[in-house]
Structure 1
Amino acid sequence: IGKIADDAEMPGVTSLSVETASKDIVLANLARALIPALEKPDEANALFVEQMTTAIGTYLVQRYGGRPTVASDRSGSLSRTHEDLAKSLLLENLDGNVSISEVAQMCNLSRGYFIRAFRETTGMTPYQWVLRERIDRARDLLRTSKTPLAEVAIACGFADQSHFTRVFAGIVGTTPGNWRRNT
């Protein structure tokens, strides 16, 4: 709990209060968002899972830690240097082989603060940003080569072609095959 509390910028929280027979809609929704990753761990992105567990831990500490959240006196966004460093590390590891903790540590920031500041700076979470970059890389490959979709999927860090197709269609609005044919 101590590390989670520190990341949530609530040092000193050492225990959580217990509430029985109460519904926590926020916690239920956070857990619900994590279910697909737990059901298909081979397709789960480590950055997404780490962000979700950070969000759940932060929420638990803030909600049940017994102390009101104190506003940070730091700016809510990343410095240009930290933004460039974080993006560079994430781009070098589009396959998901870097954790949020590692990127935050390289920026000398707590994991929780880093996620919030990255979102404030870029308008998206690190995971969303990585997905967008993967899709941009896929579009370049689809536009400039005849590489089979399954190979594009692997080259862009997706578990397989079906995972790639679902994510691509969700972001672009059409399947990779249709997109390639129409560009």
Structure 2
Amino acid sequence: MTGNAAYVHCPVLLALAGAHGHEPIHSALEVTFNQSGRIAWKGANANGYQIRSMVGEVDVMITSTILYFIWNSGYIEAEAQSGRKVIAIEDRPTFAYVLPPGTHVGFRLKEVGQNRQLSVELERDFLLGAAGFEHPASFDIGETWDYKDPLSWQLAGVIYDECISRAPQGTLYTETAATLLAMHLVRNLSTATRLKEIRRGGLPPSLLRRACDYMMSRLGDDISLQEVAASVQLSTGHFSTAFKQSLDVAPHAWLRRQRIERAKTLFHDPDLDLAQIAMILGYANQSSFGVAFKRETGLTPMQWRVREAI
């Protein structure tokens, strides 16, 4: 929801345990929020919220791995209970936690207001693909409260911005950030004992060419990282890391560069306006195209067209 704040009586845990990665046992939660946004892809989803106020209580059983991040510019008076542990969710600038499947947790929210929140739900297969496990049975994520990892917080900020702005850079961008988040999570908080070795030196030339050709053939589509990785039969984690080793740029950034180069060619067609060019290149709207074009060139599409016409 965007625009003015709306009062919602939530039958499920809207803002503290993700959209689908839990089963509500008991819920009496009331939320007033200014804006929200959701991005979903195979095996994962992310939900961003701008919260005005939240009060009530809820008990849930977690069914997928949940990462939750809170940026607090207002106040928080709340606690969570997991088993015999009681965790104070303190009134401070940031707070994050990780809940694995099977966690039964209750939240008691006395007063929460003026903050931003992000939930990232990761299914087991997505985690396996990100980390490149050889023996899935040996892998579990540990329940963690007050998760402070700096890189995870940076990635969470990227994902939150994409959720709230409705993914202007495309699914590939958000999924790449979530894959790095999942990879980092597994390597820091899991019980894994055997991980596949990521080959050093990047992708073999034949696989690199195949991946690039696949992305070029889908230039007008909002493709996912899993689709591109599958085209060369690699896990998402292995592919994204090796691709960047090969070209010194992430897959989403490489694809954006190719789309912008194609846009420069399309600008010479007087029958195409900017909205049509944006659609041809797979952008949701002209605004998203403009953001991507300026990020790549330093100019807006209109400024580029004027400069080239001189």
Q: 119, 139, 145: which one pairs with 2:269? A: 145
Give per-residue Cα distances to partners, 1:4-32, cap 9 Å, x unaligned.
24541344442112333342222211111
Q: How many residues align?
A: 182
Alpha carbons of structure 1 residues 115 and 22: separation in structure 2 relative to 1, 3 Å: closer
Say if 2:178 is the partner of 1:65: no
Task: Give TM-score scaled by structure 2 length.
Answer: 0.54
What is the aligned partner in structure 1 of residue 131 from structure 2?
A: 8
Say if 2:229 is the partner of 1:104: yes
| Structure 1 position 66, deviation (Å) | 3.5
| Structure that is richer in helix per residue | 1
User: Percent of aligned positions with the same letter in both sequences?
Assistant: 26
Alpha carbons of structure 1 residues 4 and 11: separation in structure 2 relative to 1, 3 Å: farther
What is the aligned partner in structure 2 of residue 121 from structure 1?
A: 246
| Structure 1 position 164, deviation (Å) | 1.2
What is the aligned partner in structure 2 of residue 171 from structure 1?
A: 296
CA distance in 2, matches of 1:78, 1:126: 12
Alpha carbons of structure 1 residues 42 and 73: separation in structure 2 relative to 1, 3 Å: closer
Say if 2:36 is the partner of 1:36: no
Alpha carbons of structure 1 residues 34 and 21: separation in structure 2 relative to 1, 3 Å: closer
CA distance in 2, matches of 1:73, 1:8: 10
Say if 2:146 is the partner of 1:21: yes
| Structure that is richer in strand per residue | 2
Contact map agreement 1:38 1:44 (CA 8 A) in 2: no
Specify which structure has the bigger relative contact order, considering alpha-carbon pairs within 8 angstroms and separated by 6 or more residues.
1
Alpha carbons of structure 1 residues 165 and 102: separation in structure 2 relative to 1, 3 Å: closer
CA distance in 2, matches of 1:164, 1:73: 34
CA distance in 1, matches of 2:261, 2:293: 10
Q: Which runs of 5+ in 1 are unaligned?
A: none
CA distance in 2, matches of 1:176, 1:95: 18
Q: Which runs of 5+ in 2 are unaligned?
A: 1-123
Task: Give TM-score scaled by structure 1 length.
Answer: 0.87
Q: Which has the larger radius of gyration?
A: 2
| Partner SS, residue 145 of structure 2 | coil
